[in-house]
Amino acid sequence: MPELPEVETVLRSLRKSEIIGFPISRIEIKKSSHVKGINIDDFVNKLTGQTIDKIERKGKWLFFFLDNLVLLSHLRMTGKYFFEENSHDPSLIFTFANKKRLFYCDPRGFGVFYLQTTDDFYSSLPYRGIGPDLIQEEITVEYLTSCFQSLRIPIKAALLEQKIVSGIGNIYASEILFFSKISPLKPTNKISQKEVEKIIKFSKIILQKAIDMRGTSVVDFVSPLGKGSYQNELKVYMRENKPCFECQIPIIMEKINNRSGFFCPRCQRLELE
Protein backbone atom coordinates (compact mmCIF):
# COMPACT_ATOMS: atom_id res chain seq x y z
CA MET A 1 0.00 0.00 0.00
CA PRO A 2 -0.18 2.29 -2.00
CA GLU A 3 -0.70 0.14 -5.11
CA LEU A 4 -1.18 1.02 -8.78
CA PRO A 5 -4.53 2.87 -8.43
CA GLU A 6 -3.27 4.94 -5.51
CA VAL A 7 -0.01 5.86 -7.24
CA GLU A 8 -1.94 6.71 -10.43
CA THR A 9 -4.18 8.96 -8.34
CA VAL A 10 -1.12 10.72 -6.92
CA LEU A 11 0.34 11.04 -10.44
CA ARG A 12 -2.80 12.69 -11.81
CA SER A 13 -2.92 15.19 -8.96
CA LEU A 14 0.78 16.05 -9.43
CA ARG A 15 0.23 16.56 -13.16
CA LYS A 16 -2.56 19.03 -12.45
CA SER A 17 -0.42 21.01 -10.01
CA GLU A 18 1.58 24.16 -10.65
CA ILE A 19 4.98 22.54 -10.16
CA ILE A 20 5.52 21.37 -13.77
CA GLY A 21 7.50 23.82 -15.88
CA PHE A 22 9.05 25.70 -12.98
CA PRO A 23 12.63 25.35 -11.68
CA ILE A 24 13.26 23.90 -8.24
CA SER A 25 14.63 26.79 -6.20
CA ARG A 26 15.11 25.03 -2.86
CA ILE A 27 15.10 21.55 -1.33
CA GLU A 28 14.81 20.91 2.39
CA ILE A 29 15.57 17.38 3.56
CA LYS A 30 14.31 16.53 7.03
CA LYS A 31 14.92 12.76 6.80
CA SER A 32 18.00 11.91 4.78
CA SER A 33 17.31 8.14 4.91
CA HIS A 34 14.83 8.51 2.05
CA VAL A 35 17.57 9.47 -0.41
CA LYS A 36 19.44 6.46 -1.79
CA GLY A 37 22.60 6.03 -3.88
CA ILE A 38 23.87 9.61 -3.54
CA ASN A 39 24.96 11.84 -0.69
CA ILE A 40 22.57 14.55 0.41
CA ASP A 41 24.66 17.52 -0.71
CA ASP A 42 25.01 16.14 -4.23
CA PHE A 43 21.30 15.30 -4.32
CA VAL A 44 20.36 18.87 -3.41
CA ASN A 45 22.95 20.52 -5.67
CA LYS A 46 22.04 18.46 -8.73
CA LEU A 47 18.30 19.01 -8.35
CA THR A 48 18.37 22.71 -7.52
CA GLY A 49 17.69 24.72 -10.68
CA GLN A 50 16.28 21.74 -12.56
CA THR A 51 12.79 22.07 -14.07
CA ILE A 52 10.18 19.29 -13.99
CA ASP A 53 9.25 18.62 -17.61
CA LYS A 54 6.82 15.75 -17.02
CA ILE A 55 5.85 13.10 -14.46
CA GLU A 56 5.26 9.46 -15.39
CA ARG A 57 4.38 6.20 -13.62
CA LYS A 58 5.09 2.52 -14.07
CA GLY A 59 3.72 0.06 -11.55
CA LYS A 60 4.15 1.63 -8.13
CA TRP A 61 6.98 3.99 -9.17
CA LEU A 62 6.75 7.70 -9.97
CA PHE A 63 9.30 9.33 -12.29
CA PHE A 64 9.93 13.09 -12.34
CA PHE A 65 11.66 13.97 -15.62
CA LEU A 66 13.81 17.08 -15.28
CA ASP A 67 16.26 18.90 -17.60
CA ASN A 68 18.79 16.05 -17.73
CA LEU A 69 17.88 13.98 -14.69
CA VAL A 70 15.11 11.67 -13.52
CA LEU A 71 13.98 11.71 -9.90
CA LEU A 72 12.56 8.29 -8.98
CA SER A 73 10.05 8.07 -6.13
CA HIS A 74 8.54 4.99 -4.48
CA LEU A 75 5.96 5.67 -1.74
CA ARG A 76 6.32 2.23 -0.12
CA MET A 77 3.95 1.85 2.86
CA THR A 78 3.00 5.37 3.94
CA GLY A 79 4.57 7.91 1.59
CA LYS A 80 2.33 10.83 0.59
CA TYR A 81 2.57 14.07 -1.37
CA PHE A 82 0.84 17.30 -0.37
CA PHE A 83 0.78 20.81 -1.79
CA GLU A 84 0.17 22.41 1.58
CA GLU A 85 1.58 21.90 5.04
CA ASN A 86 -0.44 19.51 7.17
CA SER A 87 -0.28 17.60 10.43
CA HIS A 88 2.39 15.22 9.11
CA ASP A 89 6.03 16.13 9.57
CA PRO A 90 7.43 16.48 6.05
CA SER A 91 10.46 14.39 5.10
CA LEU A 92 11.32 16.49 2.03
CA ILE A 93 10.12 19.91 0.89
CA PHE A 94 10.54 21.08 -2.70
CA THR A 95 10.10 24.80 -3.33
CA PHE A 96 9.69 26.04 -6.91
CA ALA A 97 10.48 29.33 -8.62
CA ASN A 98 6.78 30.25 -8.63
CA LYS A 99 6.74 29.89 -4.81
CA LYS A 100 4.69 26.69 -4.94
CA ARG A 101 5.82 23.92 -2.60
CA LEU A 102 5.57 20.14 -2.70
CA PHE A 103 5.71 18.27 0.61
CA TYR A 104 6.69 14.61 0.82
CA CYS A 105 5.51 13.07 4.10
CA ASP A 106 6.21 9.54 5.26
CA PRO A 107 5.35 8.61 8.87
CA ARG A 108 7.07 5.20 8.73
CA GLY A 109 10.00 6.37 6.65
CA PHE A 110 10.09 3.55 4.08
CA GLY A 111 9.73 5.63 0.90
CA VAL A 112 12.78 6.08 -1.32
CA PHE A 113 14.19 8.56 -3.84
CA TYR A 114 16.82 7.87 -6.47
CA LEU A 115 18.42 10.28 -8.90
CA GLN A 116 19.57 9.09 -12.34
CA THR A 117 20.52 10.69 -15.64
CA THR A 118 18.00 10.54 -18.48
CA ASP A 119 20.60 8.80 -20.67
CA ASP A 120 20.79 5.59 -18.62
CA PHE A 121 17.42 5.68 -16.83
CA TYR A 122 15.56 3.14 -18.98
CA SER A 123 18.44 0.66 -19.06
CA SER A 124 19.16 0.81 -15.32
CA LEU A 125 17.53 -0.61 -12.23
CA PRO A 126 14.94 -0.18 -10.94
CA TYR A 127 13.18 0.70 -14.22
CA ARG A 128 14.42 -2.26 -16.27
CA GLY A 129 13.31 -4.61 -13.50
CA ILE A 130 9.71 -3.40 -13.43
CA GLY A 131 7.26 -5.76 -15.11
CA PRO A 132 4.57 -4.70 -17.60
CA ASP A 133 2.09 -2.19 -16.24
CA LEU A 134 -1.43 -3.60 -16.14
CA ILE A 135 -3.08 -0.34 -17.17
CA GLN A 136 -0.54 1.18 -19.54
CA GLU A 137 0.64 -1.93 -21.40
CA GLU A 138 -0.91 -4.91 -23.15
CA ILE A 139 -0.34 -8.13 -21.22
CA THR A 140 -1.06 -11.27 -23.21
CA VAL A 141 -2.44 -14.55 -21.94
CA GLU A 142 0.59 -16.31 -23.46
CA TYR A 143 3.04 -14.08 -21.57
CA LEU A 144 1.36 -14.47 -18.19
CA THR A 145 0.75 -18.19 -18.61
CA SER A 146 4.44 -18.70 -19.42
CA CYS A 147 5.47 -16.74 -16.32
CA PHE A 148 3.13 -18.73 -14.09
CA GLN A 149 4.17 -22.10 -15.51
CA SER A 150 7.81 -21.39 -14.68
CA LEU A 151 6.99 -20.87 -11.01
CA ARG A 152 5.88 -23.15 -8.18
CA ILE A 153 4.37 -20.63 -5.77
CA PRO A 154 0.81 -19.71 -4.72
CA ILE A 155 -0.93 -17.54 -7.31
CA LYS A 156 -1.49 -14.83 -4.69
CA ALA A 157 2.28 -14.55 -4.18
CA ALA A 158 2.88 -14.50 -7.94
CA LEU A 159 0.57 -11.52 -8.43
CA LEU A 160 2.76 -9.56 -6.01
CA GLU A 161 5.91 -10.24 -8.06
CA GLN A 162 6.56 -6.84 -9.62
CA LYS A 163 8.90 -8.32 -12.25
CA ILE A 164 5.98 -10.28 -13.74
CA VAL A 165 3.32 -7.58 -13.70
CA SER A 166 3.68 -4.31 -11.86
CA GLY A 167 1.29 -2.45 -9.62
CA ILE A 168 -0.61 -5.17 -7.74
CA GLY A 169 -0.27 -5.45 -3.98
CA ASN A 170 -2.14 -7.24 -1.21
CA ILE A 171 -5.45 -5.41 -1.60
CA TYR A 172 -6.00 -5.86 -5.31
CA ALA A 173 -4.49 -9.36 -5.49
CA SER A 174 -7.15 -10.56 -3.05
CA GLU A 175 -9.92 -8.78 -4.94
CA ILE A 176 -8.78 -9.97 -8.39
CA LEU A 177 -8.65 -13.60 -7.28
CA PHE A 178 -12.09 -13.36 -5.69
CA PHE A 179 -13.68 -12.10 -8.89
CA SER A 180 -11.73 -14.72 -10.87
CA LYS A 181 -12.97 -17.45 -8.47
CA ILE A 182 -9.43 -18.74 -7.95
CA SER A 183 -8.01 -19.83 -4.61
CA PRO A 184 -5.01 -17.68 -3.63
CA LEU A 185 -3.32 -20.92 -2.54
CA LYS A 186 -3.44 -22.52 -5.99
CA PRO A 187 0.09 -23.13 -7.35
CA THR A 188 0.96 -21.07 -10.39
CA ASN A 189 1.88 -24.11 -12.49
CA LYS A 190 -1.69 -25.39 -11.97
CA ILE A 191 -3.31 -22.19 -13.24
CA SER A 192 -5.11 -22.84 -16.53
CA GLN A 193 -5.10 -20.56 -19.55
CA LYS A 194 -8.78 -19.83 -18.95
CA GLU A 195 -7.95 -18.73 -15.41
CA VAL A 196 -5.16 -16.51 -16.71
CA GLU A 197 -7.71 -14.86 -19.01
CA LYS A 198 -9.91 -14.16 -15.99
CA ILE A 199 -6.99 -12.74 -14.02
CA ILE A 200 -6.10 -10.31 -16.81
CA LYS A 201 -9.74 -9.35 -17.37
CA PHE A 202 -10.57 -8.64 -13.74
CA SER A 203 -7.20 -7.01 -13.04
CA LYS A 204 -7.96 -4.35 -15.63
CA ILE A 205 -11.57 -3.90 -14.51
CA ILE A 206 -10.77 -3.64 -10.81
CA LEU A 207 -7.69 -1.45 -11.15
CA GLN A 208 -9.45 0.95 -13.52
CA LYS A 209 -12.48 1.23 -11.26
CA ALA A 210 -10.21 1.88 -8.28
CA ILE A 211 -8.44 4.61 -10.27
CA ASP A 212 -11.79 6.18 -11.10
CA MET A 213 -12.57 6.20 -7.37
CA ARG A 214 -9.17 7.69 -6.46
CA GLY A 215 -7.86 4.50 -4.88
CA THR A 216 -8.51 2.59 -1.69
CA SER A 217 -8.13 4.47 1.59
CA VAL A 218 -7.63 1.78 4.18
CA VAL A 219 -5.28 2.50 7.08
CA ASP A 220 -3.88 5.86 5.95
CA PHE A 221 -3.68 6.36 2.18
CA VAL A 222 -4.38 9.96 1.21
CA SER A 223 -3.60 11.58 -2.15
CA PRO A 224 -3.06 15.33 -2.63
CA LEU A 225 -6.76 15.44 -3.53
CA GLY A 226 -7.92 13.62 -0.42
CA LYS A 227 -9.03 10.07 0.36
CA GLY A 228 -10.17 7.47 -2.15
CA SER A 229 -13.42 5.52 -1.94
CA TYR A 230 -12.75 2.09 -3.45
CA GLN A 231 -12.63 0.64 0.08
CA ASN A 232 -16.42 0.67 -0.12
CA GLU A 233 -16.23 -1.81 -3.02
CA LEU A 234 -13.96 -4.41 -1.38
CA LYS A 235 -15.37 -7.95 -1.40
CA VAL A 236 -12.78 -9.87 0.63
CA TYR A 237 -9.84 -7.69 1.69
CA MET A 238 -9.95 -6.92 5.43
CA ARG A 239 -13.27 -8.77 5.73
CA GLU A 240 -12.09 -11.75 7.79
CA ASN A 241 -15.01 -13.60 9.48
CA LYS A 242 -17.57 -11.47 7.64
CA PRO A 243 -20.03 -13.22 5.29
CA CYS A 244 -19.15 -13.53 1.63
CA PHE A 245 -21.37 -11.26 -0.46
CA GLU A 246 -22.16 -14.17 -2.77
CA CYS A 247 -22.49 -17.30 -0.61
CA GLN A 248 -22.59 -15.97 3.00
CA ILE A 249 -19.71 -18.24 4.09
CA PRO A 250 -17.29 -16.32 6.36
CA ILE A 251 -14.25 -14.84 4.61
CA ILE A 252 -11.00 -16.26 5.93
CA MET A 253 -7.52 -14.80 6.18
CA GLU A 254 -4.44 -16.92 5.71
CA LYS A 255 -0.77 -16.05 5.59
CA ILE A 256 0.61 -16.78 2.13
CA ASN A 257 4.36 -16.28 1.82
CA ASN A 258 4.19 -14.10 4.94
CA ARG A 259 1.52 -11.82 3.45
CA SER A 260 -2.15 -11.74 4.38
CA GLY A 261 -4.52 -13.32 1.88
CA PHE A 262 -8.30 -12.88 2.16
CA PHE A 263 -10.67 -15.19 0.33
CA CYS A 264 -13.94 -17.11 0.38
CA PRO A 265 -13.31 -20.84 0.94
CA ARG A 266 -16.44 -21.77 -1.04
CA CYS A 267 -16.36 -19.35 -3.99
CA GLN A 268 -12.60 -19.82 -4.28
CA ARG A 269 -12.40 -23.51 -3.52
CA LEU A 270 -8.93 -24.96 -4.11
CA GLU A 271 -9.21 -27.41 -6.96
CA LEU A 272 -6.11 -29.08 -8.36
CA GLU A 273 -6.14 -30.99 -11.61
Instruction: Give a three-class secondary structure readout of 70-106.
Output: EEEEECCCCCEEECCCCCCCEEEEEEECCCCEEEEEC
pLDDT at 225: 56
pLDDT in tens, 241-255: 999 999 999 999 999
DSSP state of 156: H
Backbone angles phi, psi at 165, to 5 degrees: -135, 145
pLDDT at 85: 76
Residues 118 and 173 in one domain: no
Among 129, 161, 188, residue at a domain's last position: 129
Catalytic residue among 58, 60, 214, 239: 60
Q: Provide the CA 125 distance to its chain's centre, in angstroms.
A: 17
> Can 190 be counted among the known catalytic residues?
no
Q: What is the pLDDT of residue 153?
A: 96
| C-alpha–C-alpha distance, residues 247 and 249, integer Å | 6
Catalytic residue list contains 224: no
Are residues 171 and 103 part of one domain? Answer: no
**Model confidence at 58: pLDDT above 70:** yes
pLDDT class for 220, splitting at 50, 70, 90? low
CATH number at residue 41: 3.20.190.10
Mean pLDDT of 10-20: 93
Domain membership of residue 208 (yes or no) is: yes
Contact 48, 66 (CB under 8 A): no
| 259 assigned to active site | yes
Statement to judge: residues 146 and 256 lie in one domain: yes
Least confident of 48-57, 100-109, 235-244: 100-109
The number of domains in the chain is 2
For residue 174, being part of any structural domain is answered with: yes
What are the two backbone dihedrals, phi and then psi, of residue 75, each rounded to the nearest 5 degrees? Answer: -75, -20
Domain residues for the domain of 204 are 141-263
Where does a domain end: 129, 164, 199? 129
Say if residue 231 is in the same domain as residue 115: no
Has 2 been annotated as catalytic? yes
Q: Whole-model pTM above 0.95?
A: no
124 and 174, same domain (yes or no): no
User: How is residue 53 annotated by DSSP?
Assistant: -
CA distance 127 to 122: 6
CATH number of domain containing 210: 1.10.8.50
